[in-house]
Structure 1
Amino acid sequence: MAGAKQGGGRDLTQGPIGNTLLFFALPTLASNILQSLNGSINAIWVGRFLGEQALAATANANIIMFLMFSVVFGFGMASTVMVAQAVGARDIDSARRAFGSAVGFCFILSMIVSVAGWLGSPALLHMLATPPEAFDLALVYLRVIFVAMPASLLSVMMMMGLRGAGDARTPLIFMLVSVGIDIILNPVLILGLGPIPAFGIAGSAAATAAAGFISLISLIFYAYRKDLPLRLRGSEMAYLRPAAAQMRVMLTKGLPMGLQMIVMSASGLVMIGLVNREGLLVTAAYGASQQLWTYLQMPAMAMGAAVSAMAAQNVGAGRWDRVSRITGYGLGYQCLITGTMIVLLIAFDRALLALFLGGDSSAIEVARHMQLLASWSFLFFGCTMIFFGVMRANGVVIAPLMVLIFTLFGVRLAFYHLGYPSLGADALWLSFPVGSGVSFTLAALLYLQGGWRKAKLVVPPSEEECRESMSAESEPAGRIVPAG
């Protein structure tokens, strides 16, 4: 049956493209929303119970965490594409090899980062110029978070691998588990309810750590209980030792993908610096607007990831006739969902902004003005992510990175500096649609030019791997449908 689930995964090479893509993307979108809501709720717990210094401490620590997750996101997307192409080619053994190498590499990397992060936390916070009054709290918080790093990063890597196999439902389930535990434990461990002592800010970090470990262990148990396609058994456990061929792809493709996230983050930091020059009122308005813009980005990120996995499966299956249609549906859904959210945001902007600024704040009108000028740029941003997602499905990552660097830093900053004398602060808000429009145009030209279709993301097997693959043809491990 077209699009049917296969041991927890979904065949994305068959059936109606529109419905398959939509139902594959929605769980990823829900996961993204859950993550953001979790961060917002945790910030409320910390801010309300522990005060501004503690909230500032978590903000400083979270910058470091974002950089770590950006790198792992890149490796995760590379493994997603490798797994998806192998699944599309009906080669579950290659999918497991790619998944095993990714998980094994992530474990080694996360252990190194965890130890180095614990030891280097003071230096990292000094580099960020953490305010002295928040330094001790930030150090405690960050060190506990680094202890939880292996579980957090492994969970991200495994969830992205599962999406490559066409399974977006399982990652959503365990994102719910993680978020639920984190939200419940935060006030318990911060305040010390019942027999549990109060840990303060360390309790907030410990809640996140506990949620990560419990979610990871539950995910592993579930994978074996349900016999998901990517679970490793017996001799397949050797796949956890990172193989040179897979690692070449992970590093050459994963690092540029991670850098895309870092470039976007760095651009945001530059924009905050420029906004700060406009005074406290504008900075407060921008901070509230950013909270809303975070949600406008989510359809683009979720649909881009879904399009990438679906296109990669079809590339692996040689179904190039479906890839262009996947792109079209991705663009259509992205514009529909993001466009609807923009209309709702602008229609109810005063009430939404009051959640962050208070109903009587004079910053609300400033924020409403910048919403009108900048919010619609996320339509361009989303379409750019769709084009990049499809090209990424065939291993093209350098050109998208160059486009982002050029538009986020070159175009945006040039427009700001040229327009500021006549436009004032409006040059900042208009730089969003200008930069996004240029990146969309360049991404569309790259896609239509078609050179990305000639790229190859093929890991050349060694002689030993070939022999093992031939032997596996008659064993359950070599089939797309798991044994049992």
Structure 2
Amino acid sequence: MTNDMTSGNIPKQLVKFAIPMVLGNMFQLTYNAVDSIIVGHFVGTSSLAAVGAANPIMNIVIFFIVGICMGTSVLMSEYFGEGNIKKLKREISTSMIVGLGFTIIMSIICFFLSKNILLITQTPIEIVPEANLYLRTIFCGLIFTFLYNIYSATLRSMGDSKTPILFLIFSSILNAILAVIFVVVLKLGVLGTAIATVISQAVSSILCIIYVYKKIPILRFSKSEITVDTSLLKNTINYSWVTALQQTCLYIGKLLVQGSVNPLGVNSIAAFNAVTRIDDFALNPEQSISSAMTTFIAQNRGGEKFDRIKKAFHYGMLIEVIYWLILIAPVYLGARSVMQLFVPDSGAQVIHLGVIYLESMAFFYILPGLTNGLQGYFRGMGDLKITLISTFVQILSRVILSYILAPRYGIAGIAFSCLFGWIVMLSYEVPAYLKYRKKLLFLITA
């Protein structure tokens, strides 16, 4: 099912597009959350810390792949908004072939370098073997990560955010079931959680492929259509490379922040692993709203509906603020209860550290909501350099401050380093938006 967003009720379309993504991404986050909860309860704090130390590294690689797909989806949305289906199919084919080859090469490199990266980030030596085993298993399944994300990006560019999410929900439930079997029943520890994740990702990608082939006629390719279009390749690489760098920059920063946490000890690592999962759940709707804005704006840019672009930005930012107002009380008041999901009562120190972090972040979450809205706008307008630069200055500021504050204030210092990074990011994005606003007003009145 496709959805042309170049006409119709704007706030309704944004919300309708974002809600399936919010729900689906919530389920996607359960991949790692289930890993952490099951490992924390049935294996132990040391293994939980191993998964926590591995996750920033894993996320760098995974979100590099996600970034590639995000970049190409902007082009796909533009061509779909133009009504140029032939060009859309050439873009999909080019992205698929080049991205698949790149993913295979990256999987091999990451498999052999995982242990060295863990050591570079000062991961405590006692948890390196488990963390390395977890990473290597995940890296063996990266091809499924790419296939799911490229097919999802294609469907979303055509206004269908619901279908790939349904497959993701199914695979997330499967992941939880398999994690229990492999960890609790078969006693495979962190290896079991990684195997469960890879199998679940494979299922979601296969379901996407089958659906597209059977239900979306315009996305069925003949042999002659499966090719790399050199006329589109440069633009595809430019878009996908910049968004991949942006996503990688973000998660390299998180990895470096992890490096400031690791010297604080196993309890702090375990607490940071738990709160970053909670951060992901809290920030996911903000990011989904941003993605809805990107697709909407890109389609309307292709259709030259500039007045709708202006209105979509205002509605999108309003939705971001409303979401934060709903979020603040549950995070602040429920911090201890949420931490207990990840750590049993015997981990009282870990829970205490997590509560300190979350009580501050509840008030800070408004800032990433604003930055996500602006990022969605710039991506939809095709100016990905602004999103890259703003992410870079944000993460650089956060990393520097985390190494200054963490030794003095522990995990609370990490929360305030996030606050500072978001403030720096907004100080770059807001002036850039004001310049774009003038250009847009000119196009509307022209």
TM-score normalised according to structure 1 size: 0.79
Verify: 1:321 aligned to 2:307, yes or no: yes
Q: Match for residue 224 of structure 1? A: 213
Q: Match for residue 397 of structure 1? A: 384
Q: Match for residue 338 of structure 1? A: 324
How does 1:103-142 map onto structure 2 within 5 Å? 103-121=96-114, 123-128=116-121, 132-142=125-135
**Deviation of the 1:33 alpha carbon:** 0.8
Cα pair 1:296 1:338 within 8 Å, conserved: no
Q: Match for residue 14 of structure 1? A: 7
| Cα distance change, pair 412–201 in 1 and its aligned pair in 2 (3 A) | closer
Tell me, which stretches of 5 or more residues in structure 2 are unaligned?
Answer: 441-446
293, 299, 310: which is aligned to 2:296? 310
Verify: 1:299 aligned to 2:285, yes or no: yes
Tell me, which stretches of 5 or more residues in structure 1 are unaligned?
Answer: 1-7, 455-484
What amino acid does structure 2 have at the position aligned with 1:351? S
SS class of match (2:285): helix
Q: Match for residue 475 of structure 1? A: none
What amino acid does structure 2 have at the position aligned with 1:62? N
Verify: 1:145 aligned to 2:145, yes or no: no
What amino acid does structure 2 have at the position aligned with 1:395? G
| Cα distance change, pair 362–190 in 1 and its aligned pair in 2 (3 A) | closer
TM-score normalised according to structure 2 size: 0.86
**Deviation of the 1:165 alpha carbon:** 1.2
| Cα distance change, pair 103–191 in 1 and its aligned pair in 2 (3 A) | same
Q: Match for residue 366 of structure 2? A: 379
Mean Cα displacement is larger for which, 221-230 or 383-392? 221-230
Q: Once the two structures are superposed, what CA deviation does each residue of 1:11-35 show, in whole Å capped at 9, x if it has no partner? A: 1111000001101011111121111
Cα pair 1:70 1:259 within 8 Å, conserved: no
**Deviation of the 1:110 alpha carbon:** 1.9
Verify: 1:388 aligned to 2:375, yes or no: yes
- Identity among equivalent positions (%) equals 24
CA distance in 1 between counterparts of 2:264 and 2:284 reads 28
The higher-RCO structure (CA 8 Å, 6+ apart) is: 2
What amino acid does structure 1 have at the position aligned with 2:103? S
194, 197, 204: which is aligned to 1:205? 194
160, 164, 181: which is aligned to 2:157? 164
Verify: 1:233 aligned to 2:219, yes or no: no
CA distance in 2 between counterparts of 1:349 and 1:122 reads 33
CA distance in 2 between counterparts of 1:270 and 1:134 reads 18
CA distance in 2 between counterparts of 1:319 and 1:102 reads 27
| Cα distance change, pair 243–292 in 1 and its aligned pair in 2 (3 A) | same
Verify: 1:100 aligned to 2:93, yes or no: yes
CA distance in 1 between counterparts of 2:31 and 2:403 reads 34
Q: Once the two structures are superposed, what CA deviation does each residue of 1:325-383 show, in whole Å capped at 9, x if it has no partner? A: 11111101111112211122123334334444556836666654544433322212111
Cα pair 1:296 1:342 within 8 Å, conserved: no
How does 1:174-213 map onto structure 2 within 5 Å? 174-190=167-183, 201-213=190-202
CA distance in 2 between counterparts of 1:64 and 1:419 reads 20
Q: When you count helix as a share of all residues, which structure comes out higher?
A: 2
Cα pair 2:371 2:425 within 8 Å, conserved: yes
Q: Once the two structures are superposed, what CA deviation does each residue of 1:33-67 show, in whole Å capped at 9, x if it has no partner? A: 11112211123334444445544544454333212
Mean Cα displacement is larger for which, 323-332 or 177-186? 177-186
Aligned-CA RMSD value = 3.3
**Deviation of the 1:410 alpha carbon:** 3.6
What amino acid does structure 2 have at the position aligned with 1:316? G
| Cα distance change, pair 231–415 in 1 and its aligned pair in 2 (3 A) | same
**Across the two proteins, how many residue pairs are aligned to each other?**
439
Q: Match for residue 23 of structure 2? A: 30
CA distance in 1 between counterparts of 2:374 and 2:355 reads 30
